[in-house]
Copies of this chain bind each other. A is one copy, B any other.
């Protein structure tokens, strides 16, 4: 009996893993599975289908490439196709998956105009998210009007660096309109101003609406101080174009009828999960249209999903949230990679942590948030108390001290920490991580106020700004 078990344990059939999408989530899963197979002495064959010609790049880095911080799009590639292949992954670029047959475990795809079919034992859907393209941005032929473009892929980055090549020269682009006031919108406003353009930012709601209104107002003030022409609460009705041959954008018209001249228009309205493939195969989708992986990353027998095509579980609410970020893509990708061959890893959930900055026009503002906003907390049923505290990033007598605004949110019933938002000068934002760790552990506002955070005059005040804010809220809970 023992001999039989041992023989069974040694029996290792070939497992065919098929990954659709070769960016962070897909390639994390692929490499992790490769390592897990290696460690377990298992035989795997890993094939990756990627519709575009690019793999494993930092989409978050594109605004900094456009701004001029990063010399080339190649610098944003974490691992090249050649590196993936030399690790033993059968990576097929330009191969667009078009249908999944979940019964027969096959994926149909198109490559170089011909149709192919790939069999799998385990399928990983990592198709990411696609930028939302409003109808007004399209030309008669269905393509984008020249000069109007999103900022998502390396191809987008290439296009933008081309569009801005002559920025600052006579006849070059000088006026930009950014549509969308979220992370990408703010980062692109920075990039465009740093490239010498004027920037008008139009947003349907507030700027950075993932933060509460009071801190959002600080961000809006900073943008205005840096010269951004702000139009909040506005939508775009349509474009104006130059007409004639070489027709391209010359302006946008808002819902109030205002005409804003524009040589380039950034589409930063958001992204949506690219889940047509699984949706058509009958796989369940969430409210935002994303796949719904369980904590192991599984969405159906033999089918897994990771990355921006998913709605992940929010650790504080237990509900699904569409949070298309590289952090979750990498973490969930790794979870899937480990579990494909029978591992037992779990994705711990998301806290909604996010960070960015706006550094342009003499302004240096850092922005971060974690956990629930006031609205989210109320909606989740918490009796939320919140307070903004203004202090300094480091000891006030140090020459580098900067203003920092910290908002702490807690639950009156349990004193539990619910969220933290930070807006301030250099050195402000990354301290949100201490709050994220506290949220991860389910700690209270009192814990955050009392914990042993690091202090020395060049790094913090003796009560860290985060703790002063937590202490003040704790006194009022």
User: Which residues of A does B touch, CB under 8 Å?
Assistant: 24, 58, 60-61, 64, 69-70, 75-76, 183, 315, 325-328, 330-331, 347-357, 359, 366, 368, 370, 395, 397-399, 427, 429-438, 440-443, 447-448, 450-460, 462-464, 466
Known: A354-B456, A432-B454. 16 other contacts (CB 8 A): A58-B457, A60-B455, A60-B457, A60-B462, A61-B395, A326-B455, A328-B452, A353-B453, A355-B456, A356-B456, A370-B454, A434-B434, A434-B437, A435-B437, A436-B451, A437-B451
Does A463 contact B433, Cβ atoms closer than 8 Å? no
Does B438 contact A454, Cβ atoms closer than 8 Å? no
CB distance from A467 to the nearest CB of B (A): 9
CB distance from A68 to the nearest CB of B (A): 10
For A24, A351, A354, A462, the residue with the greatest tally of chain B CB atoms inside 10 Å of its CB is A462
Does B450 contact A398, Cβ atoms closer than 8 Å? no
Does A455 contact B325, Cβ atoms closer than 8 Å? yes
**Cβ contacts under 8 Å, A455 to chain B:** 60, 325-327, 355
**Cβ contacts under 8 Å, A350 to chain B:** 452
Does B451 contact A70, Cβ atoms closer than 8 Å? no
Does B431 contact A433, Cβ atoms closer than 8 Å? yes
Does B452 contact A352, Cβ atoms closer than 8 Å? yes
- 5 closest A-B pairs by beta carbon, nearest first, are A441-B441, A437-B437, A355-B454, A433-B434, A351-B452
Does A430 contact B427, Cβ atoms closer than 8 Å? yes
**Cβ contacts under 8 Å, A368 to chain B:** 454
21 contacts between A and B (CB under 8 A): A58-B395, A60-B462, A64-B397, A64-B458, A70-B397, A326-B455, A327-B453, A328-B452, A331-B450, A348-B451, A355-B460, A430-B454, A433-B437, A433-B454, A433-B466, A434-B436, A434-B437, A437-B453, A440-B441, A440-B451, A441-B447
Give complex CA distance A395, B61 in Å. Answer: 8
Does A64 contact B440, Cβ atoms closer than 8 Å? no
Give complex CA distance A112, B73 in Å. Answer: 73
Give complex CA distance A434, B429 in Å. Answer: 13
Does A454 contact B331, Cβ atoms closer than 8 Å? no
Give complex CA distance A60, B462 in Å. Answer: 9
CB distance from A466 to the nearest CB of B (A): 8
**Cβ contacts under 8 Å, A452 to chain B:** 315, 327-328, 348-353, 370, 436, 440
CB distance from A247 to the nearest CB of B (A): 35
**Cβ contacts under 8 Å, A183 to chain B:** 456
Give complex CA distance A316, B64 in Å. Answer: 42
Residue of B nearest to A396 (CB): B75
Give complex CA distance A70, B354 in Å. Answer: 34
**Cβ contacts under 8 Å, A434 to chain B:** 433-434, 436-437
**Cβ contacts under 8 Å, A435 to chain B:** 437
Does B462 contact A327, Cβ atoms closer than 8 Å? yes
Does B431 contact A441, Cβ atoms closer than 8 Å? no
For A58, A331, A455, the residue with the greatest tally of chain B CB atoms inside 10 Å of its CB is A455
**Cβ contacts under 8 Å, A462 to chain B:** 24, 58, 60, 326-327, 330
Does B441 contact A459, Cβ atoms closer than 8 Å? no
CB distance from A252 to the nearest CB of B (A): 27
**Cβ contacts under 8 Å, A347 to chain B:** 450
Residue of B nearest to A39 (CB): B475
Give complex CA distance A452, B183 in Å. Answer: 17
CB distance from A105 to the nearest CB of B (A): 30
Does A440 contact B447, Cβ atoms closer than 8 Å? yes
CB distance from A350 to the nearest CB of B (A): 5
Give complex CA distance A272, B466 in Å. Answer: 30
Give complex CA distance A315, B452 in Å. Answer: 10
Give complex CA distance A397, B67 in Å. Answer: 13
For A399, A441, A448, the residue with the greatest tally of chain B CB atoms inside 10 Å of its CB is A441
